[in-house]
Structure 1
Amino acid sequence: MGLSFEILGRVRVHRDGQAQRVPAGRPAALLVTLLVNAGVAVPVDRLCAELWGRCPPASALANLRSHASQLRHLLDSPGHAARLPAEHGGYLLRVERGELDAAEFERLATEGHAARVGGEPELAATLLGRALALWSSTDPAPAYGPATSAAFDRLRERRAAARETYAACRLDLGDPGTPALLSMLRDHVTEHPLREPAWALLMTALHRAGDQAGAVQTYQAACRALDGELGVAPGPELTELYRQVRRHAPRPAVPPRRRVAPYPRERVDARARSDAGDRPADQRVPHELPCPTAPFVGRHAELARLRAALGDARRQPVTVAVFGMAGTGKSALALRAAAEALDAFPDGQLHLDLGGSVAGTPPPPLQVATRVLRALRPGRDEPEPSGIAEARARVRSLLFDRRVLLVLDNATDAVQVDGLLPVRGGCALLVTSRTPVTSGDARALRLDALPAADALALLRATAGDRPVDDEPEAASAVVSLCERLPLALRTASRRLTEGPHWSLSRLARLLRDERYRLAETGLGPRLGASYRRLGSAAPIFRRLGRAHPGPVTAELAAALTGAAPEDAARALDRLVAAQLVEPAGPGRFHIGDLVRLYAAELAADEAGVDRNGQTGAGASWR
């Protein structure tokens, strides 16, 4: 019996080449969910959440069993092992090699990228062309649960990278701008208007085809797209290509990519396989990025900016910093951008949590540099560096002329992350922090709360469609009371998973009570990390907890604390730098309700100390 599954377009199942009827609705959604997790037992509660949201009906389990039974009739065959057994409290779908189009796409794309890096553009174009041919003309239907939708988002990102590498290989091989290549690239920039490499490839192909006017118009379209969505101008690569076109250069070069010594054809497969087992321990490529465990919603413009910034590492090492107040989702954004950029950093991806999101002692710079050394040279018995200067010098030597991505999460100050990048190569340093910790020519991105629509979409992704659809006003209230912060929304919505006695209306009532709001959003411990680094501004911050909601001025802060107005103004500047208050006009500042509630708790604890000579009850858990 031969089965094959198609999910890169319409969902189809074939047995021995004959199309089978796939049950519509939730049985098909269950099939796709199991296929994107092929070979792994998916727990029943997760399947229910994917099919019915966070609050499935009482009949969900019975319905799930019925859907699984329908799929067994479709997939099983007498005399063969069961395809869909119940295992470990869930269901596992067994899929053999070559049966699932998405898995074949991943395999061919990986081998194609490896062939490109190995200096074999002809083989790479063949492999990537086969990978892209597996996608039908329509995208996968979006009506799946959040985890399955996220899996399709990753597949679409991989397809985008495969298209660009395929086009670059074709141009490397002398493609004169054939109609097929131009058509593919036009469709690609329409679908991904913020990817500068895509615009550069289309400009190159048009100029190769003798259409100089079309290449110029393409550059102008790229300018409009980037300015309209991001408010930025094209990068130097696209601008230089435009100058070449205007100078009537006969054949502009393919947009620059890393060149390495070619590998023999028989080694391409080895390059595409996992490094574990095929290399000595000290030559293994590190892949340390963690798998995301929470839904990710929105941030399209921010992702595009990070993608463009990381893409510039093709020319020289770059540093990118994402900063903002606690709970805005900086780590999730950075890891998402890093995952999308995997193919651009074939020599490894490192991930270090520097501890700046919670109170505690952050690792010193020497420990950070030594940790990077261990990741780059695992299993090496080498003497410890004598100091931070030697450790950083060793890191730079190992990274020189390589393409490695370093994600340093939750940094506390610039000293932790300075001096790690070499003078040449394709490395990138992606840093997240509460305050900007980099300087010089680093790209900085301040992350704010989610827009209202995206915040509601995140609540829908975590709580499920049904609660939001049943109680839209309560859902909007929860979004507002959580101040559109991803951490607060995810934490508060966990109440809805405790049982049917919880609803969005009840959650909204709980959040409106200021005695419980901070604890329900989980923001207190995160704000504590920022508070402990305020220094002399800490007393004024505590007193702001006693202020009524509304704008704060230096005069008000001085009146609350008895400080001189100039000292109060300097303290407010420090609070702005710590992302605890925001400027709201000349001399005026805004403090969010959740931050104000945290300051009020600190003030209550301080009052307890003043009265009793010991720490108040509220301070013991922080």
Structure 2
Amino acid sequence: MAQHTGMCAFRLLGPMEVSVGPRTVALRGVRQRALLARLVLARGRVVSVDALVRDVWNGNPPSSARTQVSICVAALRRLFRDAGAGDDVIVTVAPGYRLAPAEHRSDLAEFADKTEEGFELSCRGDAEQAAERLQQALALWRGPAFADLTADFAELEAGHLAQQRMLATEQLMELRLELGEHRSLVGELTSLVRENPLREQLRACLMLALHRSGQRADALRTFREGRDLTVDELGVEPGADLRAVHDRILHDEPERSAPPTALPVAPLLPAPSQLPADSSVFTGRGTELRHMDEALASPGPGRGAPVCCIVGPPGTGKSALAVHWGHRKADDFPGGRLYADLRETADLPPRHAAGQVLRGFLRALGVPPKQIPTGIEECAALYRSVLAGRRALIVLDHASSYEQLAPLLPGDGPCRVVVTGSELLMDGTAKVLRLGGLTQEEAVRLLARSAGAARVVDDPVGTATLVGLCARLPVALRAAGARLAGKPHWTVADLVDRMTDRGSLLDALGRGEHSVRACFDRALRLLPPEVSDHYERLGRVTEPAFDVWTGAQVLRLAVRDAEDALERLVDLHLLEVAGRDDCGALRYRFPALLGLHAADRHAVLPRVGARRRELALVASGAGGVIAPPPGADRGRAES
């Protein structure tokens, strides 16, 4: 008799829950949960074993990680089979695994579908049905998304989903106001504004609900409270839409109305403000900020929107600088501040990645989903048309190719673009800002802000030594500050003692949110495999600087090919030119701390190779062993 199979249901909008039909699947351990969540997020696409290893272990996997992934998948398959789901929930497809689309459903996909349908119905003027769909979508939430997962990828996705949840909530409030539910909304909106005091669309809805309920004074007080908050915390006045609602209420003007079909977007939809929060410990960079001011000044005729490219080694704070400048200049961009972390689309082909970002930008700019084209060229053309004459800022973070960037650039007009990446990707029309370490004074200030000023002031000599060990690199200084902040009984000298051994320096800077090793690992994941392989192999060089012939020997390449490989790493700011020797030949070296990281990565390669040989021997024997995961035989060769 054929075994009965059931549909798997994955619920991630809250604590993770998995069921097959009426039966709950009891997941065992954090690795199983993280791996399964990563497959669910892929929505039927193949996730490579390398990506699973990277994300499940937060960029710092053990040498046995690939084997553990294989074992974990086998265990999950047994769990699903025992629950009645059959053997084909997790499918092996080189170079990794995927969830069979026909065999599972998730609340993530259901939330996305219902919100999309709700927005479309709203654009058609069907407020009642749109509100019903959005209420159904929001009812799927049982708490913060991925509430019981601590993996970095889950935290990033949880932030994105929280933003989508808030956008759906704001749209629902707009629709219910349109349906005349202002009296019943006052209490609900008051709570929402209290929890999200800087969301101007929610505040505008509350003001309208109060005003329409005969509470004009309370509506005006709500505006004053919001204005005081934005001025105190952000140093800016409220947005134009919120001020317009205030002015109408203040002058007791009648409500502007129009037939529902004439309102393709929500009437109070604010200009998008997508920049991540500014860093609370951002320090210095005055010269660089002035350079950006000049680079993004008014362009000459016909040159297109000004673009500033921030490039430099990983850990220098390129993203933090771009975001800080955007917040500092927020008033200059009433048309909105768009932001995309292109690292999140690194697994997609460049044009597909650009299309995904473009559609998100168009929705944020108020284009009804039904009017967004499917083709990338049509999307890009509509994007340029919507931005024409609109003074907006576009921040494109962690770019890796011009093909990925090109569709996201606006045409001529008052927009401004900031791009961050490891190398220069634009043509000569872009202004380039090459970022390095902080000045000594800036580095000490950043350390004091991260760790607390008292210990830094008490030991100026130890502080100078610590700053030197961190190479004045922002990511290292923040990691050191976080370590000290978490150890109030330590002095600066205690941490310095733990960092003087070069072999353990990265370990000392690898705790908490700001891990130097994890930062460098993330940068490598964006590179082509052969480039990261060259970087790792050069980690065996022990001299402070080396020439191309040494590089050729280590990389096992012809001299000309080795020179090309070294120059590629220079372009990516993973190597730098250390001058010329007496014969005029170029010499190369790793930027600060990257040499330690490359040596650390190189040390892992022999263990990985030995483990692969062990797996191959076991797999060739008898006894029903677990085979290595797909693609394992295509890994990097042993050094």
| Residue 528 (structure 1) aligned to one of 513, 521, 531 | 521
Q: Are the counterparts in 1 of residues 279 and 320 from structure 2 also a CA contact under 8 Å?
A: no
Structure 1 segment 188-267 matched on structure 2, within 5 A: none
Question: Which residue among 365, 371, 377 is the counterpart of 1:376?
Answer: 365
Q: How do 1:5-404 residues align onto structure 2 when only pairs under 5 Å count?
A: 155=235, 269=247, 280-281=265-266, 283-312=269-298, 317-355=305-343, 364-377=353-366, 380-404=368-392
C-alpha contact (below 8 Å) 2:354/2:407 kept by paired residues: no
1:484-527, CA deviations, whole angstroms, 9 ceiling, x for partnerless residues?
11111111221112233322111112222333322333222222
On the 8 A contact 2:448/2:481 being kept in 1, the answer is no
Q: 1:572 aligns with which of 566, 575, 584?
A: 566
Q: Secondary structure at the match of 2:523?
A: helix
Contact 2:440 2:472 (8 Å CA) reproduced: yes
Q: Map Cα deviations across residues 305-352 of structure 1 (whole Å, 9 max, x no partner).
A: 112233326975212211111110111111111112212211111111
Per the TM alignment, residue 450 of structure 1 is displaced from its structure 2 partner at its CA by: 0.8
CA distance in 1, matches of 2:405, 2:249: 31
Asked whether 1:466 is paired with 2:450, we answer no
Kindly indicate whether the alpha-carbon contact (under 8 Å) linking 2:393 and 2:417 is maintained by their aligned counterparts in 1. yes
Q: Secondary structure at the match of 1:417?
A: helix
Extract unaligned runs of 5+ from structure 1: 1-87, 89-95, 108-147, 160-261
Q: What is the aligned partner in structure 2 of residue 557 from structure 1?
A: 551
Distance 1:394 1:615 in 2: 55
Q: Are the structure 2 counterparts of residues 105 and 382 from structure 1 closer, same or farther at C-alpha, using a change threshold of 3 Å?
A: closer
**Contact 2:452–2:485 under 8 Å retained in 1:** no
The partner residue of 1:544 within 525, 538, 551 is 538
Deviations 1:33-66 (A, max 9, x none): xxxxxxxxxxxxxxxxxxxxxxxxxxxxxxxxxx
Q: 1:592, CA displacement in angstroms?
A: 3.2
Q: Determine whether 1:405 maps to 2:393.
A: yes
Contact between 1:540 and 1:557, CA under 8 Å: does it hold in 2?
A: no
Q: What CA distance in whole angstroms lies between the structure 2 residues aligned with 1:484 and 1:361? A: 36
1:583–1:266 distance in 2 versus 1, CA, 3 Å: closer
Relative to structure 2, which stretch is displaced further, 396-405 or 503-512? 503-512
1:410–1:391 CA distance, 2 compared to 1 (3 A): same
Q: d(CA) in 1 for partners of 2:555 and 2:306?
A: 44
* SS of residue in 2 equivalent to 1:585: strand
Distance 1:506 1:403, change over 3 A: same
Q: Say which of 411, 419, 425 aligns to 1:431.
A: 419
Secondary structure in 2 matching 1:386:
coil
Q: Deviations over 1:373-399 (max 9, x none)?
A: 111126x24155232111111101111
Match of residue 446 from structure 1: 434
- Alignment correspondent of 2:589: 590
- Checking the alignment, whether the CA contact within 8 Å between 2:517 and 2:597 is kept in structure 1 is yes
Q: Aligned equivalents of 1:555 and 1:271: distance in 2?
A: 75
* 1:506-521 alignment, distance < 5 Å: 506-521=494-509
Residues 399 and 427 of structure 1 are in contact (CA less than 8 Å); yes or no, is this contact kept in structure 2? yes
Tell me if 1:414 matches 2:402.
yes
Q: Post-superposition shift, 1:405? A: 0.9
- SS of 1:429's partner is strand
Consecutive unaligned residues of structure 2, counting only runs of 5 or more, are: 1-194, 196-219, 257-262, 510-514, 581-585, 616-631, 633-639
The aligned amino acid for 1:599 is A
CA deviations 1:276-333 (Å, max 9, x no partner) are x999527531122222233111111110111223332697521221111111011111
CA distance in 1, matches of 2:507, 2:288: 29
- Distance in 1 separating the partners of 2:593 and 2:547: 19
SS in 1 for 2:394: strand
Distance 2:344 2:424 in 1: 12
In the other structure, the counterpart of 2:623 is: none
Please give the per-residue CA displacement for 1:143-191, whole angstroms capped at 9, x wherever unaligned. xxxxx9xx6xx64xx69xxxxxxxxxxxxxxxxxxxxxxxxxxxxxxxx
Structure-2 change in CA distance of 1:420 and 1:322 (3 Å): same
Question: What is the CA–CA distance in structure 1 between the aligned matches of 2:474 and 2:590, rounded to whole Å?
Answer: 18
- In 2, Cα distance between equivalents of 1:390 and 1:405: 21
Whole-angstrom CA distance in 2 between matches of 1:371 and 1:479: 41
TM-score (norm 2): 0.52
Equivalent residue number for residue 144 of structure 2? none
C-alpha distance in 2, partners of 1:314/1:291?
32
- Percentage of pairs with the same residue: 32
Number of residue-to-residue matches in the alignment: 370
Q: Give the conservation status (yes or no) of the 8 Å contact 2:545–2:587.
A: yes
Q: Which moved more, 1:363-372 or 1:401-410?
A: 363-372
The answer to whether the 8 A contact 1:536-1:571 is kept is no
Could you tell me whether the CA contact under 8 Å between 2:450 and 2:485 is conserved in 1?
no
Q: Is the 8 A contact 1:319 1:430 kept in 2?
A: yes
Matching residue's letter, 1:568: A
Give the match for residue 172 of structure 2: none
